[in-house]
Amino acid sequence: MATVAFRSVAKQFGDKSVLKGLDLEIADGEFLVLLGPSGCGKTTALRMVAGLESPTSGEIEIDGVAVTDLPPRERDVAMVFQSYALYPHLSVAKNIEFPLRQTQMSKAERAAKVTEAATMLGLADLVHRKPRELSGGQRQRVALARAIVRNPVCFLMDEPLSNLDATLRAQTRSDIVTLQRRLGTTTIFVTHDQVEAMTMGDRIAVMHEGVLQQVGTPTELFFNPANAFVAGFVGNPGMNLIHAARGDGELRVGEQSLGAGPATGTGPVLVGVRAEDLVLDPSGVDATCTGVEILGAEVHLLCSIGEDHVVVRQSATAPRPGIGEACGLRATGNGVLLFDPTSGQRLS
């Protein structure tokens, strides 16, 4: 068990800057989720902890010791790849045993550990199979078993759920969290799926285009996003972002009132409002309904306000406009946040 830290880590591939000075500390035993859209540098960051890539500048520390120059085998971390990367020529048991073969452990000891890990992940009946004879979910569990078997200082998981179907993914999410709690091993979990991040992480680090946007608990990120990117990315759906202007204690789109605004300040602003805080109101701003998603008890109305696309969450039984029809929208509640329209930074 250990702490992991990125100290001003930058990575360039050729002249393409993939990570731009990442500073991040992961506490001992913490489950940290690295969240961000595809291509933002999450995998690269994870691979640098594993030692598969070396930073262009900066240091990686494990337990306060710089490991930047150590090869992967001397770092004592375990990684679960998106592709699982099982050894196709080895049985499940041999796959799980592989990391132990590199240690001084006796054969009997190894066998006991393999059995323990296989049992923990419900693989006891499959130990003689080859990876190609397993389903996706079973392969994923073999990859997890191989990671936990040698009790590493840190788990690195790169989108391990992305190849599973929806039901299995939900199940596995909680299985992984339970397993991590039980073992107490520091974990960095990479995903582009904010639902995974919100449900699994002790803390979430949101990245965008190689830059860390915000680190915080799921609740902090949801209610207190540091900038418009985090606001729009976190939550399901993400926060609506509407171009508006402040003045006279009101937020306006053109001449129309979107809702109450701060008493002070004027000029353009990006208004962040959650789908549940937008309501249909004929006296609000002009909008057009462009689609309806019926989720069951609730529906998502997809609307456009000028150039901005927004989602309105309401009860399935409430009256709603038809697709293509005009409607009025208004922001209610205390959840309205203001962002700088150029920098995206939080204003209020």
Ligand X SMILES: Nc1ncnc2c1ncn2[C@@H]1O[C@H](COP(=O)(O)OP(=O)(O)O)[C@@H](O)[C@H]1O
Within residues 25-84, the interface with ligand X by CB under 6 A covers 36, 38-44
Decide: is 89 part of the binding site for another protein (CB under 8 A).
yes
Q: How far is the CB of 143 from Mg ion (least distance, A)?
A: 16
Q: How far is the CB of 285 from Mg ion (least distance, A)?
A: 39
Q: How far is the CB of 339 from another protein (least distance, A)?
A: 39
Q: How far is the CB of 35 from ligand X (least distance, A)?
A: 10
Distance from the first to the final alpha carbon of the chain? 39
Residue (105 or 347) nearer to another protein, CB: 105
Q: What is the identity of the amino acid at 230?
A: V
Q: List alpha helices for 228-329, DSSP H.
A: 228-233
Helix 136-148, helix 92-101: angle, nearest 10: 20
3-state helix, strand, coil in the chain (%, to 5): 25, 35, 35
Distance (Å, whole) CA 83 – CA 7: 28
Task: Assess contact for 231 and 336: CB atoms under 8 A.
Answer: no
Position among 32, 50, 157, 198 found at the interface with another protein (CB under 8 A) = 50
Residue (139 or 346) nearer to another protein, CB: 139
> CB burial class (10 A; 0-12, 13-18, 19+) of residue 107?
exposed
Give the position of tokens 């939900």: 170
Report the partner that residue 52 touches, choosing among another protein, ligand X, Mg ion, none (CB closer than 5 to 8 A by kind): another protein
Distance (Å, whole) CA 140 – CA 83: 9
Separation of CA 112 from chain center: 35
Residue (43 or 213) nearer to Mg ion, CB: 43
Report the partner that residue 223 touches, choosing among Mg ion, another protein, ligand X, none (CB closer than 5 to 8 A by kind): none
Decide: is 102 part of the binding site for ligand X (CB under 6 A).
no
Position among 43, 95, 185, 194 found at the interface with Mg ion (CB under 5 A) = 43
Give the position of tokens 């900066």: 58
Question: For binding to ligand X (CB under 6 A), which residues are involved?
Answer: 13, 16, 18, 36, 38-44
Which residues are at the interface with another protein (CB under 8 A)?
50-52, 71-73, 75, 77-79, 81, 83, 85-89, 98-99, 101-103, 131-132, 146, 150
